[in-house]
Structure 1
């Protein structure tokens, strides 16, 4: 079975198995496989009859389908591959633990040792039959390369052969997984004590008190996510260095038509940015309402080279804090026996090196503070190579009563917690929350989470009342880090982390399982206290 080595040669690899019922097709042109021209159906409609679309990557025209049980997959692939509208059709690899599709692109990331001669590196790549697509800027002697089309699974062999060389440090194929958003589908109770629908709520992160000292001016927060509605009034005048690393343009705005499907279109990034830096000028304040927003649209799958470029762009264009509310797909939080809870998803070297570049070289060498959502699977965040990376602040979610949100991931990787939404779940004896979730910015009009229903936010559809998950918690901590840096711009990222953890409030003492060092597997070092953190930074 194909094995990818995302780390060095002496580190364990990730093995995948061919799926018996999944196939991948790539359109010859356009973002999707065409089934008709105008009102005239194409033969492709019959070739895909009965197949269920389970994953789409419109940025490269790739779709993954699951066939009904018992259907011969080889025959279907041959017919699709011969269709003029299809550039390629083939088998799909799957994660053996979960059956989740894992796509390979015939691209490889290769990093030679730092002291290797660049001319030698290029000669080695050419000898392996690889074309250099990009010499990346976040690591020395590192290249994003392409094998000849239809190399197929032999990219795993090529990568392994290169990794066996003494002058190669990392070598792995570009593998694409579904990138999961960390969201669970009055007002701003997470920022201050307030009353919601007549019920007092006092489980906030002490943000309003911090605003008496600083509101984040002079600090830039990068939000890497799907499209961000940068024309929203809450971001006016504070957008810097916008980028779409998937489309390779400077327009990070949502590219879809919106709606209320299972992934809610390109709505997620706008809400995340709102939690971090919304101005509060019209209806929702972010944690750092005077910080600048560096919006980066990433629509590519998990593990893509675009993912790595996002971190480099953020660091090279002045980001002080980087907020990421995404990562590997979560297991089912309500099903403790879900085998997905035990799977380990490593971070590819390409992304890991770019993340480390931002963490070590950003802010003139003081390092960007990188925040990740811990996850919504009620599972160990330590198995997530993104949230579990040592340079990352992984954020769990706590609720409006100061206890754990039922879905929030756990473990040693969790650094701190931040207020978010919650759900009642009788099998766990988990009570109903006091509020519907986090009130924040929404994509304007009817295209966002709130189509204009006052019960879901405001009547115009510019705000949502029900954002949540660790997706909302992570930008809350990113905004708090911005307040800390505004109070003391000379702090290193390590010092910011230490302050956030040291000044956090230990919540739920009875059930938090805090150890001798003050760490809880549920809350990290506790719920962030923005005012205490700002005071510590000034001191």
Structure 2
């Protein structure tokens, strides 16, 4: 069963508040996310012929180690290259949309919390009542993106997905998908993909057992689904760590091989635009992406945990609850960034070698929801992946003690989700937007006078604005400067942030550059970054980090562009006029800005006051 729906991005006109000049601030820069040395992900521009695309002009010694045509990406290796230099060079290479490091991510490890009675979760989420209505999702494929699965486990073997186009153990890529003998899934650990996703860690097998351990077979444990198809996509190694490149390759395989649901009990690393794009590609193919909220007991609203915090429609973020329906002490949470809770403490499930163990973690909560999604979807084949997500959230049991910990403040209720009377009809998809409105520049502000000096970690500027609907926002910064103090190579870093003293940077906007010259060596300092932001008020900060030197900057601009299309449809971006930046700071009161910005083509004001 496949549900392939191309989703349309909903957008609205930005409503701008007053420009706020940031206070001079000294803060400690965040520890940079762990990366795979010398490896990078290159996203090609739309329409690029990947078969003819050449990456050699990007850097000496660069080589392509993986091609991912389903998501339009390449994984490259450039051992001696520095990311900032590669990023700068990529601007002049036709066919490159962006480049980013390959980040290291890790399984959401099991905290050392006490165990609870065996499989207490089933009566808690009313699974027996659900099983009276339906037990099987054998027509659906649930991909376990993890450390692999012990496909020989006696409580899993009968529920493993089997590639219909592959002949086992003949050493031939029978179905021509690029992987030899990928009978139960594939292994993406390291650069060379192979067809053996055997679990050498325990984590993935435990997750798989919760989703679909064979049930009513007089052996071991029960799964949410008594019968299903578990696709093993291994990208985490025996140590429980992997890379964003490996995760993207696993997601691409799942898209190619028609997975319906992806369980993602892992997280870490910085914001990866490439991983977000891969998840969006899965969304466009009607795949539900269920993700663990993380085990750091932190608020994901202010400290995002990826991939659960990516703002893509198909992401269903899950926190862990305990036997008393309280938030598990280790579980991360978020009133706007986490969707719902599920049991994640003392969860008994399958482990490699025919064994069983109890684990704790949001990793254990997530497969309860992924398994529930499969069971409900099998009973309601007319629903889309987004209908399933909404239905699970709408039918979850609201728990007073969970208020403010997620969007729903609720814990999975499989019994209610499976009741026929609680199943809504599929929601109609939005029509293609018929608005002819253009991209509207909401800000193009004179930020500082020439000769501004920067010698530490500085908040250069903050700008606040309000969105009336979720929308795509493009943030551009531009200035130039030269070194007036310091010698040798000076490292300068720049980026856009969502906090004055950020705990998480928007790594998609992060850039590095080196200054080596003196007063006559002017260098451009710029950032260009796009992100989907939710409805509501936002403040962004442009920052510079300068180490061991003083830079003198020219005047500069920060531009925030919004793409208005209130019906939620195909984005049509045209050139927008650019306003003059040669005015003084005294001219920049709210009234002056309103007169300059005026109205957009739809006749709506582009300014307001907060």
TM-score (norm 1): 0.61
Match of 1:288 in 2: 225
Match of 1:183 in 2: 110
Aligned-pair distance for 1:180?
3.5
Structure 1 residue runs of 5 or longer lacking an equivalent are 1-94, 193-203, 256-265, 329-344, 362-366, 422-436, 446-461, 514-519
Using the alignment, how far apart are the partners of 1:249 and 1:285 within structure 2?
30
Q: Would you say the 8 A contact 1:369–1:493 is kept in 2?
A: yes
**What are the superposed Cα offsets for residues 14-48 of structure 1, whole Å, 9 maximum, x if unpaired?**
xxxxxxxxxxxxxxxxxxxxxxxxxxxxxxxxxxx
Matches within 5 A, 1:433-444: 437-444=346-353
Residue 250 (str. 1) matches residue 195 (str. 2): yes
Structure with greater helix share of residues: 1
Using the alignment, how far apart are the partners of 2:405 and 2:65 within structure 1?
42
Residue 531 (str. 1) matches residue 424 (str. 2): no
Match of 2:374 in 1: 482
Q: Would you say the 8 A contact 1:225–1:324 is kept in 2?
A: yes
Q: Would you say the 8 A contact 1:159–1:173 is kept in 2?
A: no
Aligned-pair distance for 1:346?
3.4
RMSD across aligned C-alpha pairs, in angstroms?
2.5
Match of 1:413 in 2: 337
Q: Secondary structure at the match of 2:121?
A: coil
Q: Which residue, out of 311, 314, 317, partners 1:394?
A: 317
Q: Would you say the 8 A contact 1:160–1:171 is kept in 2?
A: no
**What are the superposed Cα offsets for residues 483-527 of structure 1, whole Å, 9 maximum, x if unpaired?**
1111112321111111011111101x1x433xxxxxx32474411
Aligned-pair distance for 1:208?
1.5
> Rg bigger for which structure?
2
**What are the superposed Cα offsets for residues 155-208 of structure 1, whole Å, 9 maximum, x if unpaired?**
431123314768532211323x3514242244211011xxxxxxxxxxx11112
Q: Secondary structure at the match of 1:214?
A: coil
Matches within 5 A, 1:187-226: 187-192=118-123, 204-215=124-135, 216-226=137-147
Q: Would you say the 8 A contact 2:225–2:375 is kept in 1?
A: yes
Match of 1:139 in 2: 71
Match of 1:174 in 2: 102
Using the alignment, how far apart are the partners of 2:94 and 2:300 within structure 1?
33
Match of 1:319 in 2: 259
Q: Secondary structure at the match of 1:253?
A: coil
Q: Would you say the 8 A contact 1:302–1:327 is kept in 2?
A: no
Q: Secondary structure at the match of 1:273?
A: helix
Structure with greater strand share of residues: 2
**What are the superposed Cα offsets for residues 211-243 of structure 1, whole Å, 9 maximum, x if unpaired?**
112222322211111132111111122212321
Using the alignment, how far apart are the partners of 1:275 and 1:388 within structure 2?
23
Aligned-pair distance for 1:139?
2.2
Q: Would you say the 8 A contact 1:404–1:523 is kept in 2?
A: no
Q: Secondary structure at the match of 1:138?
A: coil
Using the alignment, how far apart are the partners of 1:132 and 1:405 within structure 2?
43
**What are the superposed Cα offsets for residues 88-139 of structure 1, whole Å, 9 maximum, x if unpaired?**
xxxxxxx953577x234322222232134557742x6435443333331222
Using the alignment, how far apart are the partners of 2:341 and 2:48 within structure 1?
43
Q: Would you say the 8 A contact 1:416–1:527 is kept in 2?
A: yes
Residue 111 (str. 1) matches residue 43 (str. 2): yes
Using the alignment, how far apart are the partners of 1:243 and 1:378 within structure 2?
33
Using the alignment, how far apart are the partners of 2:410 and 2:74 within structure 1?
41
Using the alignment, how far apart are the partners of 2:243 and 2:84 within structure 1?
15
Matches within 5 A, 1:19-168: 97-98=30-31, 102-116=34-48, 118=50, 121-122=53-54, 125-126=56-57, 128-129=59-60, 130-140=62-72, 142-147=73-78, 149=79, 151-152=80-81, 154-163=82-91, 168=96
Give the direction of change, closer, same or farther, for the CA distance of 1:174–1:190 in structure 2 (3 Å limit): same
Q: Looking at both structures, which has the greater relative contact order when contacts are Cα pairs under 8 Å and sequence separation is at least 6?
A: 2
